[in-house]
Amino acid sequence: MGRNGSFHIAIDDVTCVQCAGCVSICPTEALHMQGLTLECHDPTCIGCDLCVRFCPVVALSLHALSAPPVRAEA
């Protein structure tokens, strides 16, 4: 499991059937329905992969974002 802000959830709007199951299963409430459209607030996602494994139509995919470079102390 990773840090907040390290992940992006890609949503296939064509495949998604708006069942909202992923919204219910997300432990950090990163996913929500905006009307009939599923949206993800990526900074809240911790990369647990639960939503990806839960989705019955495989509409979600999890992507790790590259971490910002750590600046060395001068």
What's the closest the beta carbon of residue 70 comes to ligand SF4, in angstroms? 24
Tell how far CA 27 is from the center of its chain.
Answer: 11
DSSP strands (E only) in the chain: 7-11, 31-34, 37-40, 60-64
Q: Which of 8, 18, 35, 72 binds ligand SF4 (CB under 6 A)?
A: 18
Q: According to the binding rule CB under 6 A, does residue 26 interact with ligand SF4?
A: yes
- If one asks whether residue 6 binds ligand SF4 (CB under 6 A), the answer comes out as no
Give the Cα separation of 22 and 3 in Å (integer): 20
The only residue of 32, 39, 46, 61 in contact with ligand SF4, by rule CB under 6 A: 46
